[in-house]
A and B are shown apart, each in its own frame.
Chain A
Amino acid sequence: MAKLVNRGNKATKTGFGEGLLEAGIANGSVVAVGADITASVGVDLFASKFPSRFISLGIAEQNCVGVAAGMALAGKIPVFATYGVFSALRTTDQVRISLCYNNLHVIIGGAHAGVSVGPDGATHQALEDIAMMRVLPNMTVLSPCDATQARLAVIAAVEQCSGPVYLRFGREAMPDFTTTEMGFAIGKAQLLHHGNDLAIITTGHMTWEALRAAYELEKEGILARVLNIHTIKPLDQTALVEAARECGAIVTAEEHQVAGGLGSAVSEVISKYHPVPMEFVGMNDRFGESGPPLELMRKFGLTAENIITACRKALERKLK
């Protein structure tokens, strides 16, 4: 398949904001709830275009979730976005009861995902949000890999879902390499690189790193299948089991705690249906810290080079 190229760096939060605006133009029921940091999470585009469909609630995230639930009960499709550490973690009980137990179509945006948040440091780097959101019944969890996909993810969350959705995105400008034509089907893994030697299963910013790793390994004659999991829940079990069966070894890569995140989700499926050796690239039970985004990615082992190392380990275990 055609090699994907970076058309230029762009933040997934920008894609989120553009998608929200588009979704809002297409569907008059879409409304947005703001918790003070509107521009920082990309909601300002929507808010300035549709001031009467934007409601400011201040730094009160628990209330924001409940208000969004009430608006959904009154027929709206509310989008509430703030940093993921707040929208998913501070409000978990409101998300669990007011949203998930009531099964309401509300889109929770989780900005500032991962250590690539950079200088703001550990308090603002969401690294446990996937783990918390994916265990809640009725919840859909989306984690787009670039700005283009983030744009499509918002539109899909509005048009393809009918219950609560958690949509995760990042702050830093990162490679934008997928195209609108590739579409966004909720619940479907996206094949980005063919290969049967092993599979790299990835999500979010790490998808670009996984592709870089696959292109490097290809030079040595190792063909890695790259699956982008933009939908963590519902997980595309068919594609995962197929990858395990056809490739025989799996590496997962995510900008999130390995415990509870994509790596856990994938191993829950693989261990049940087709166990194969697995290696996990991600945060290993620790907080992030301040620093330039790419330097932090290197420091915490979240680069193509780390994925390649993990691939070699997985291959070694596969061949034993």
Chain B
Amino acid sequence: MNQRSENGFGRLEALARSIRQSVIRSLAEAGSGHLGGSMSSADILTALYFSVIKHHPAEPTWPGRDRFILSIGHIAPVLYATLAEAGYFPKEELLTLRKAGSRLQGHPGRDHKLPGLELSAGSLGQGLSVAVGMAIAFRMDGLANRIYCLNGDGELQEGSVWEAAMSAAHHKLDKLCLIIDRNGLQIDGSTETVMALEPLKKKFEAFGWNTLECDGHDFRSLLSAFQKTRLETSRPSVIIAKTLMGKGIKSIEGDYRWHGKAPSKEQAEEMIKEVAK
């Protein structure tokens, strides 16, 4: 075994490596798509689907499942790769990404009946509202399902996110957990240059949220944050996960130009070798 397994998270790290390879392979095959954010969110999704959320891939509509809402629809490739890794559908199908007739739409579409997909999304700033609605409805019915919603950081510039944030705190939705992929970059450059988000933690605190920060590429840090959200009984929780756009591929890490780009097949081969290490 390599060194990484010594920290006790070897299984998750191996899964994340496999998911990253799938993402690169599917994007290269598609010829377009969003690599940067898919790589920065890969560890978050790995933690969620293989350690945090309750779900049965063999029974995708199991009513008792926790719900995962991907609000940041353009990182669909990493959601698809994670769902395939978890067994919702065969990994070979990942190579149909963005192609005509595929269940793997460029941005997630429920009308294509992909098992495990909870929401069609792609217009930014809408997922948290949907997550709030789910949390309210489950509470009305006395159900304990937890709701996890992943937002990009640039997405927080949409005003509707803050309408949703206000309502989640007002209604004390303690089963709701928002994760922010804080990679600090968006299409035009740094979030702080395009439209500053900081002080982000203070903003959520002021909105009445249980606010946590973690290293979005360290499973100990991620799982500890998720564990803390379970202890919360009167507020929604937000985990601001510090990440690197393009994480795992040195040549593109932190480079905003890879936000919405797919690698060529030659580049992909090198990238796959690198993330497999």
Contact = CB atoms under 8 A, between A and B. Distances in A.
A70 B133 contact: yes
Contacts of A74: 133-134, 137-138, 141
Given A66-B132, A70-B129, A73-B133, A60 B119 contact: no
A121 B94 CA distance: 54
Interface in B83-129: 109-111, 118-123, 125-129
A71 B136 contact: yes
A69 interface: yes
Nearest to A68: B133
A62 B163 contact: yes
Given A53-B140, A58-B166, A66 B126 contact: yes
* Interface of B: prevailing SS: helix
Contacts of B122: 97
Contacts of A96: 123
B140 A60 contact: no
B154 to A, nearest CB: 17
B106 to A, nearest CB: 13
Given A53-B140, A73-B118, A94-B160, A66 B130 contact: yes
A93 B123 CA distance: 8
Nearest to B122: A97
Contact of A31 (B111, B130, B140): B140
Max chain A Cβ within 10 angstroms of own Cβ: one of B109, B130, B135, B167: B130
Contact of B130 (A60, A93, A98, A103): A98
Contacts of B138: 74
A96 B126 CA distance: 11
Max chain A Cβ within 10 angstroms of own Cβ: one of B122, B123, B129: B129
A63 B140 contact: no
A68 B167 CA distance: 13
Nearest to A98: B126
B132 A101 contact: no
Query: Interface size bucket, A side?
Result: 20 to 34
A86 to B, nearest CB: 13
A69 B130 CA distance: 6
Given A58-B167, A101-B109, A102-B119, A76 B137 contact: yes
Given A60-B167, A102-B120, A70 B130 contact: yes
B241 interface: no
B35 to A, nearest CB: 24
Contacts of B171: 55
Contacts of B160: 62-63, 66, 94
Given A31-B140, A58-B166, A70-B134, A65 B109 contact: no
B131 interface: yes
B164 interface: yes
Contacts of A78: 133
Contacts of A58: 166-167, 170
B108 to A, nearest CB: 10
Contacts of B109: 101
A66 B128 contact: yes
Contacts of B164: 63, 66-67
Given A73-B118, A97-B120, A62 B129 contact: yes
A119 interface: no
Interface of B: 67, 109-111, 118-123, 125-138, 140-141, 159-160, 163-164, 166-167, 170-171
26 contacts: A52-B140, A53-B140, A55-B171, A57-B163, A62-B126, A66-B164, A67-B132, A67-B133, A67-B164, A68-B133, A69-B129, A70-B129, A70-B131, A70-B134, A70-B135, A71-B133, A71-B137, A73-B118, A73-B133, A73-B134, A94-B126, A94-B129, A97-B126, A98-B130, A101-B110, A103-B111
